[in-house]
Amino acid sequence: MSTPSGQCAVVVGGSVAGLLAARVLAEHFRQVIVIERDALRDAPLVRTGTPQASHAHVLLQRGRRILSELLPGLEEDLLAAGALLLDFAKDVAWLTPAGWGVRYDSELPTLSCSRALLEWAVRRHVVRLTGIHIQSGFRVVRLVERQGAVVGVTIRAARCSGDVGQTLDAELVVDASGRGSAAPQWLQALGYPRPSETTVNAFHGYASRIFRAPSDPARDWMGLYLQPKPPSMRRLGILMPIEMGQWHVSLGGAERDYPPTDDEGFLEFARSLRSPILYDAITAAEPVSPIYATRATANRVRHFERLSRGPAAFLVVADAACAFNPVYGQGMTTAAIGALLLREHLRASGSTTVSRAERAWSARFQTRLAAINRVPWMLATGEDCRFKGSEGRRLDLELRVMHRYLDRVVALTTHDPAVRDVLLRTFNLLIPPSRLFHPSILAKVARQAITLRSISLTDRQDTQNMHTGDVSLAIMDTFTRRRAPTDGSSPASGTG
Ligand SMILES: Cc1cc2nc3c(=O)[nH]c(=O)nc-3n(C[C@H](O)[C@H](O)[C@H](O)COP(=O)(O)OP(=O)(O)OC[C@H]3O[C@@H](n4cnc5c(N)ncnc54)[C@H](O)[C@@H]3O)c2cc1C
């Protein structure tokens, strides 16, 4: 680690993104102060500021790798605290829209635990680092600006409603205060424009509960994911094993098909999923928590990168800048990717504080962050568009063709471990989605297509409206649509 060149940086929000930002800022600032609204306790608890921790969280592979890189020993601590290491491809029975995903031995070990445990472990690691101090029980109420640069924040005890605040000086302020961030209002109060926003909403709702997992030697899975199958089936179910021999179960419904929060309704919703496997599992399990619900699931990006004017020395990261529909499990991982970007951006500015004090430096960061958020955004909103009731992104021809192609790829993943591996790696943000168009996969999709014989008249009509390049995909789709596998009631074990 190089010698810090800056005096003090302030991070707003002490959740996953704020802690990871603090971790990398500590390489460049003698002091990093994290302001967290909640009064934090040294225990893995769901707190008011992170209500999403009541819902099942999956840490994608890319996120896991970055966390291990930034916080060596974290994974060992989590395992010691009861987290489990799963083979994502083998241990999670996954009902795709085309049927059960083939299960195989992969190199995708996944850490499974509650979000509360994960955040607590991250916090314990981060506070041990030199120069980092978490001031909990205080909220940031405004930015302090001088001559076009943010030079600090005003904080106030979270329980205090008066106008008296205390000012903290900082050379850089990083906002990691989540979906509800007040950054647009703070900028406006200083005379800057608010960032424009793009929202794509499939109106997903979640209801979640923790169960004590009963032992069952015959069970051949550790986790379950029952995907929806739009447009006909809007419901999903996730069951992930977490510490203390428990299951974290989340049910979800798109297009406002919200899961109920009463005992009976929750079970009925589970029973209505595409396979009875999750329902059967939880009816045999003892609930150990209330049922929690959320509807805060819209994909929403605030375009800080498009601001015509903004202050220097102020950055906005993670959910505060771009929040995703949580169904795709991308939030913590994109926060981690953003932390790596912040480190790179700080390193590129060298040991001087001069460039950090220039507006262009902050603007460039937001532009780079927007660029790396583009892939997860495309994945999440592209899938959300499959729901007819989605708002915010047009289901245009290009996207329809893409859906058809992906449907064919997903159909292959029910029996082809090599294709499933590529899909899982894409989903885990390890490789770019373009790998799904690798010639080997295109060839398999084509082969799947030419084993069938005819094109129906209606489908021919579809192809007439497409560009030449799209026709082959449409034809493949036409050929294969009629033999799409039906859902099974039990997950297939693969050959690997
Ligand atoms: C239902 C649901 C399920 C999810 N599932 C997954 C999943 O499976 N995998 C995944 O990777 N992600 C998932 N996510 C997203 C994930 O929780 C977040 O992306 C992740 O926590 C990173 O968020 P963050 O740190 O930016 O913000 P948050 O976690 O929301 O934290 C913001 C913090 O800022 C504090 N704060 C707010 N305002 C102020 C202020 N003015 N002053 C001081 N402090 C303030 C809050 O108290 C809070 O601690 C899910 C989200 C939801 C809603």
Residue ranges of domains in the chain, CATH in brackets: 6-57+114-198+299-380 (3.50.50.60), 205-294 (3.30.70), 397-481 (no CATH)
What the block records as the tokens of 390 is 């989605």
Residue 430 has pLDDT above 60, yes or no: yes
**pLDDT > 80? residue 269:** yes
Tell me which of 16, 208, 209 to substitute to probe ligand 1's pocket, judged by most ligand atoms within 8 Å of the beta carbon: 16
Which of 26, 33, 34, 31 lies closest to 7, judged by CA? 31
Output the CA 50–ligand 1 centroid distance in Å: 6
Q: What's the pLDDT band for 489 if we cut at 50, 70, 90?
A: very low
One-letter amino acid of 169: D
Q: Looking at residue 379, what is its pLDDT?
A: 94
Closest atom of ligand 1 to 51 CA is: 53
Centre of ligand 1 from the C-alpha of residue 489, in Å: 35
C-alpha 316/C-alpha 403 separation (Å) is: 32
Residue 487, pLDDT above cutoff 50: no
CA triple 489-54-300, angle to 5 deg: 90
pLDDT band at residue 458 using 50, 70 and 90 as cut-offs? very low
Measured between alpha carbons, how far is 130 from 30 in angstroms, rounded to an integer? 8
Query: Residue 302 C-alpha to ligand 1 middle, in angstroms?
Result: 16
d(CA 363, CA 369): 10
Mutate which of 142, 156, 177, 369 for ligand 1 pocket (most atoms within 8 A of beta carbon): 177
List, for residues 282-296, the tens digit of each pLDDT value: 999 999 999 999 999
Q: Whose CA is nearest to atom 20 of ligand 1?
A: 332
Write down the pLDDT at residue 354. Answer: 64
Would you place residue 465 in the very low, low, confident or very high pLDDT band (cuts 50, 70, 90)? Answer: very low
Q: What is the pLDDT of residues 135-186, one digit of tens each?
A: 999 999 999 999 999 999 999 999 877 667 899 999 999 999 999 999 999 9
Ranking 78-82, 309-313, 318-322, 489-493 by mean pLDDT, the lowest is 489-493
- The better pLDDT of the pair 125, 496 is held by 125
Smallest CA separation from ligand 1 atom 9, residue: 329
**For residues 44-61, average pLDDT:** 97
Tokens coding 268? 């009925």
Residue 481's pLDDT band, with cuts at 50, 70 and 90, is: very low
* Confidence bin at 356 (pLDDT 50/70/90): confident
Q: Which of 317-326, 378-387, 434-443, 478-487 is the least confident region?
A: 478-487
Ligand 1 centroid distance, CA of 181 (Å):
10
Question: Where does the pLDDT of residue 450 fall: very low under 50, low under 70, confident under 90, or very high at 90 and above?
Answer: confident
User: Is the CB of residue 150 less than 8 Å from the CB of residue 197?
Assistant: no
Residue of minimum CA distance from atom 3 in ligand 1: 326
Protein residue with its CA nearest to atom 16 in ligand 1: 331
With a cut of 80, say whether residue 189 has pLDDT above it: yes
| Three-state DSSP state, 232 | coil
Position 161 scores a pLDDT of 72
The whole model's pTM is what? 0.91
Longest dimension (CA), the chain: 76
Residue 455 has pLDDT above 80, yes or no: no
Give the residue, by CA position, lying nearest to ligand 1 atom 38: 177
User: How does pLDDT run across 407-420, given as a tens digit for each residue?
Assistant: 999 999 999 999 99
Give me ligand 1 centre to Cα 170, in Å.
24
Closest residue by Cα to atom 27, ligand 1, is 178
Strands of the sheet containing 166-169, edge to edge, are 138-146, 149-157, 166-169
Ligand 1 center to residue 179 CA distance, Å?
Answer: 7
pLDDT of residue 461: 45
Which residue owns the Cα nearest ligand 1 atom 53? Answer: 52
* Continuous segment of H or E residues that includes residue 112: strand 109-112
Name the token pair of 72.
């060596």
Tell me phi and psi for residue 394, to 5 degrees. Answer: -75, 135
3-state helix, strand, coil in the chain (%, to 5): 40, 25, 40
- Contact by Cβ (8 Å): 322, 274: no
Mean per-residue pLDDT, 12-27: 98
Calculate how far, in angstroms, residue 300's C-alpha sits from the geometric centre of ligand 1: 13
Report residues whose beta carbon is within 6 angstroms of any ligand 1 atom.
12-18, 35-38, 49-50, 52, 55, 57-58, 139-140, 176-179, 182, 206, 294, 296, 318-320, 326, 329-333, 335
| Residue whose CA is at the smallest distance from ligand 1 atom 50 | 326
Q: Of all residues in the chain, what percent carry a pLDDT higher than 70?
A: 89
CA of 15 to the centre of ligand 1 (A): 6
| Atom 52, ligand 1: residue with shortest CA distance | 52
State which of 11, 67, 181, 319 you would mutate to test the pocket of ligand 1, scoring each by most atoms of that ligand within 8 A of its C-beta: 319
8 A C-beta contact, residue 315 and residue 25: no
